Structure 1
Amino acid sequence: MHTAEFIVSSARLTELHECSALLRHTRQRAEEIVDEARTLLSEAEQAGDGERVLELTVQLDQARRSYCQVLNAYMVISRRITTERQAILQAQMEADRHAGLTGVA
């Protein structure tokens, strides 16, 4: 791997890690929101507030859908990180092989 390609790949990997950290935080907050919505719905059901139950059921469903979207994005970023790491390692191994190194320490 040429130095410039390595720098670009490393920068891309850093950006992916930053996105992953942001999505991890967002995923945690989305989990909290789902839990809060579930609690509010449960309270409304116990209170027998039918109108509020309907509203909160819709909100809980939306919170779950949003959580799933965040979780899917997090999984995509995680796969991209793995793919990028593998590409960097493979390129380094090829460069070492071309340099006459066996890869054995």
Structure 2
Amino acid sequence: MPEDALAPVTEPDLHVTYANDEFLLATKLIAQRRKDSLDILELAARTGMMDATADKLEALIYRHSTDVGAFEFIVDGTDIPTEIRLLAEHAAQLLARARSLDG
């Protein structure tokens, strides 16, 4: 969530807040639906993370998680750290496959 998202409104103008690409990538990594694959590749390219390892992707997920307790409602299973690790490894494999097709 952007830092100023919850700041009180101080002027009458419309204030639009949006998520940055890194935050969007983190949310796509957590959801990791089949339809998210192209978005993950695009966002990884835009954030300079096409070469990211599973460790870096896992760190990205945790860096942008506002409520780690909510993971139990998002991921399967009760071992949240293992589930997040598996999501990161799966995404790293997706990125590696994309790199091999480009090269």
> Above 0.5 in TM-score?
no
TM-score by length of 2: 0.32
Larger radius of gyration: 1
Which is helix-richer, 1 or 2? 1
TM-score, with normalisation over the residues of structure 1?
A: 0.32
